[in-house]
Amino acid sequence: MSDLSEAMFTTPEMASVFSSAALVRRMLAFEAALARAQAAARLIPPAAAEAIAAACDADEPDLPALFREAAEAGTPAVPLVRRLTARTAAAGRGFVHWGATSQDVVDTALVLQMRDGLGLLERGLRDVAAACAGLASRYRGSLMPGRTLLQHAVPITFGLKAARWLAAATRLRRRLRDVRAHVLAVQFGGAAGTLAALGPDGPRVTELLARELDLAAPEVPWHTERDRIGEVAGALGVVAATMGKIASDLVLLSQTEVAEVSTGAQAGAGRSSTMPQKRNPVEAVAASACARLALGVVPVLLAAGVQEHERGAGGWQAEWEALPALFRYAAGAVDWVRRAVETLAVDEGRMAANMTAAHGLMMAEALVMALAPRTGRDEAYRLVADVCAQAARAGADLREAAAADERVAAALSGAALERVLDPARYLGSADAFIDRALAAFAEEPA
């Protein structure tokens, strides 16, 4: 699939991990591992395991036909096991898929794909975090307006903004490691979760099988208790939303009137078909689109967790499409954000200019806090609101209006007023927060 979907809404690596061909390879890996585990448990002859494993090494020759038959059978396991059996040497032919059910092989294959997919997302988030850490350090002192409800609030620095993105990315990395620990469990239950065909050997074979595949052995099979899948879905949804947040910030900062950052320094990106002056924030826009698509898949997977009795009739099957889609879109969101933050051009001059845009009113809170110890916070608030209104009426600066106000003058000397209204002195714990985000990043594996 080399189409618009693959080009815009995922990465080639994730598309490859979750291709249908990769699913089939993972299913064969399960069958080989199962045979080895059963040979180790002396349930089947060693020669059988060797024969099966050898047959599993081969790529499936005609995937389109396989998938057509999968649709007829309602599961890809049925035609694959048939083909695998047919091409397994006589010694193993009778022992293919021994004691397993379709869902064992499909679920475990999906788990193996998820392992790779989580790895890709973790690496992507690491790169996002590293780029944000660079921005947090480099722009630690770069003043810019803090904006709440998209209105100027009080000053912040661009370093702090990047540090907040960084802190979130670090939390996401930790969260994905938890997910890994909870979720990467083999599925093995047989036809209805009893492993009946293995007699009393179910748990032992499960352990061996898990070891073969380097997965956890679950306490019980989980054919229709999909909390593991749900946990993946929730976590990737949070990844997507967080990427959406960073992308949204970048789109807003890129606006013509704001122009504090621009993305996609590379030649040609974001051009318009008719307007030669335009540079669209395409990376951030694409990240936002991917995040929306990923978020749309989450409720499908959560709702699919309501599965009937010992095998779901609809919910389980929907996962085959939805899980790959979720990983693909989440990877797209992470990667477009990565591209944006790695190539971000930051215009500190513009940030400084925007600070002064609204008559310096952004420093009103600072003035309130400076007056409050003397007047009480409430009275100070009213007083400064008054001064702001005067400034607005006069088209003047807060600084000028404050200096002209007798009540302010009574409380603060001219020099004190200057200090109070200096945004660089009204940053509170910004530096401390940047340090903490960088420290948390430094503790993560590289």
Site for its own copies in 10-29 (CB under 8 A): 19-21, 23
**Least distance CB 362 / its own copies (angstroms):** 7
Among 89, 303, 345, 416, binds its own copies (CB under 8 A): 303
- Residue 302 in contact with its own copies, rule: CB under 8 A: yes
Q: Considering only 49-57, 63-71, 116-124, 404-412, which stretch makes contact with its own copies by CB under 8 A?
A: 63-71
HSE, side-chain direction, 13 A CA sphere, residue 100: 30
Q: How far is the first Cα of the chain from the last one, in angstroms, to the nearest whole number?
A: 33
C-alpha angle with apex 437: 353 to 143, nearest 5 degrees? 10
Q: Considering only 34-42, 49-57, 119-127, 282-290, which stretch makes contact with its own copies by CB under 8 A?
A: 282-290
Q: For the purposes of burial, counting CB atoms within 10 Å of the CB of 405, is it exposed (0-12), middle (13-18) or buried (19 or more)?
A: buried
Among 40, 129, 131, 289, binds its own copies (CB under 8 A): 289
**Least distance CB 138 / its own copies (angstroms):** 18
Q: Which amino acid, residue 277?
A: Q
Among all residues, which ones are annotated catalytic? 272, 311
Compare residues 118 and 295 and give the one whose CB is closer to its own copies.
295
Site for its own copies in 101-160 (CB under 8 A): 101-103, 145-156, 160
Among 297, 334, 351, 408, binds its own copies (CB under 8 A): 297
**What is the x/- site pattern for its own copies, positions 330-369, by CB under 8 A?**
------------------------x--xx--xx-xxx-xx
On whether the CB atoms of residues 52 and 370 are closer than 8 A, the answer is no
Q: What is the phi-psi region of residue 268: left when phi exceeds 0, alpha when psi lies from -120 to 50, beta otherwise?
A: left
Residues in the chain: 446
Compare residues 40 and 145 and give the one whose CB is closer to its own copies.
145
Q: Considering only 109-117, 120-128, 219-227, 402-410, which stretch makes contact with its own copies by CB under 8 A?
A: 219-227
β-bridge partners, 261: 346
On whether the CB atoms of residues 321 and 267 are closer than 8 A, the answer is no
Question: What Cα–Cα distance (Å) separates residue 192 from each residue in 31, 107, 232?
Answer: 18, 14, 24
